[in-house]
Amino acid sequence: MERIRLDYNYVSSAFIKGGMGETDFEQYKEKARLGLSRLIDLVNSGSIGFPNLKGQNTVAMKSFAKEIKGSVNDFIVAGIGGSSLGLETLCDALLPFGYNSLSYGERGSKPRIWVADNVDPSKVASIMNTCEPDDTFICVISKSGSTVETAANFNILYEWLKSNVKDISKKVVVITDPDKGIMRSIATEKKFRAFDVPSNVGGRYSVLSPVGLLPAAVLGMDIDRLIKGGASITSDNYEMILVLASIYMYYMDNGRNMNVMMPYSSRLKSFSAWFCQLWGESLGKRYDRSGKEVFFGSTPVPSVGVIDQHSLVQLFKEGPSDKLVTFIEVLNHESDKTLKSSFPAYDYLNGHTMGELCNVELKATEAALKNTGKPSLKLIIDVLDEYTLGQLFMLYQYVVPVIGLAHDIDPFDQPGVEEGKEYAYGLLGRDGFEEKKKAFTEIYRKQNDFIL
């Protein structure tokens, strides 16, 4: 079974009080079709480009990966948000646990991977202290080049390399807008190798572009299978996309304003974080596309099974009825181990596998939630590999904008993020943001009475 499957029994009124009845499915599916139609119009007009990534040429990326293989011990990616979360998902899902601690030979002559995302100084310092400049390559990912966190990390890493290597132009690769922006100008001036992010593909929709694919190729992943998996998600005439969007919209309209993503696999923990950015930035909007104030959205909650059975499931089961849980089940876990106990108290584990235990606990949690009337749905994949991961990425890259556009929300901008960025630019003295600094000074007032 290569195709991802959707089990939505426990969102139905046949099992859950207040769940979706036949009329609800029909009504919300029609609403989802409206959102899909609007999305297709945007794609056909050239405004939105992520669905067209399935046709991209990967030859240059694979050639680059082959070129540096065997000559680089550390590959540092400077990027944040949409420029890092997808890559971290790829690494966690497709590389062995503890990959960076493996020897060069055990890694198949492929480099260690580091992500410089946050501006917590201890992180980038730790990365530099771990790496040798002569054996290090920097990959800076920023579509505009103006993202301050990426600019800061890139500058720190660039100066470190420049003071330790002879020809830094051979140590940096840039992934950015094809025609414009600060990073494109820097790449041209310094003669850095550069790969394009299509101008109509936004950051949080870019994991199946060079943003995710170039580092993936460097790490030996099959990037063509990633693309093929993503492309396959529309092969059923969008049926799964429409059904999944319908379910989410129904429960958003019926008080479930928290959307929990809970894969039962540690390898998919970062997928939950990627999902949260996609959902939160795309759907959390004050205004619709006509300018009407709507305060639309729901809160994504990252979770991972079975770990969070020992922290959050108590809340999911017996807390407020404001959550919808999406499980992800992996039927065949890599490197599965059969249990054998030397202790009589654990005889019940004998003959079972760790993967079986993981999936038994998932089903037990589904049943426990159902027993208290809490809805859940489940995505099922046979194995976790490039193909199925590509499916997961593309499935949600469709579902989320379909929901937004069905409500006349723009799922491709993030004005709530931009305001804070502009205040920061003003405080840092960036030209053109003097008024933002003044505005910040007016807004950011506090009283000592409320500080302990």
Residue type, 255: G
CA 396 to chain centroid, in Å, comes to 10
Contact 377, 366 (CB under 8 A): no
Query: Using CA atoms, how far apart are residues 107 and 99, in angstroms rounded to an integer?
Result: 7
Query: Using CA atoms, how far apart are residues 334 and 265, in angstroms rounded to an integer?
Result: 10
Within 8 A by CB and 6+ apart from 320, the residues are none
Query: Using CA atoms, how far apart are residues 190 and 443, in angstroms rounded to an integer?
Result: 40
DSSP 8-state symbol, 82: G
CA 146 to chain centroid, in Å, comes to 21
In degrees and rounded to multiples of 5, residue 323 shows phi and psi of -125, 145
The residue written with tokens 């584990």 in the block is 349
Query: Using CA atoms, how far apart are residues 350 and 341, in angstroms rounded to an integer?
Result: 6
Catalytic-role residue among 54, 62, 123, 421: 421
407 is catalytic: no
Structure tokens at 410: 């723009």
Q: What is the residue-wise DSSP string for 252-297?
A: HHTT--EEEEEES-GGGHHHHHHHHHHHHHHH-EEE-TTS-EEEE-
Query: Using CA atoms, how far apart are residues 233 and 225, in angstroms rounded to an integer?
Result: 13
285 is catalytic: no
If you count DSSP H runs as helices and E runs as strands, how many of each does the chain have, helices first? 15, 12
From residue 446, alpha-carbon distances to 91, 436, 441, 442, 450 in Å are 43, 18, 11, 11, 8
Catalytic-role residue among 292, 310, 442, 446: 310
Residue type, 118: N
352 is catalytic: no
β-pairing, 293-296 vs 285-287, is antiparallel
Helices of type H across 69-175: 85-94, 121-130, 148-162
Contact 148, 169 (CB under 8 A): no
> In whole angstroms, how large is the CA radius of gyration of the chain?
23
Catalytic-role residue among 88, 281, 329, 366: 281
Q: Report the SS3 class of residue 410.
A: coil
Query: Using CA atoms, how far apart are residues 107 and 219, in angstroms rounded to an integer?
Result: 9
Query: Using CA atoms, how far apart are residues 202 and 182, in angstroms rounded to an integer?
Result: 17
- Residues classed as catalytic: 281, 310, 421
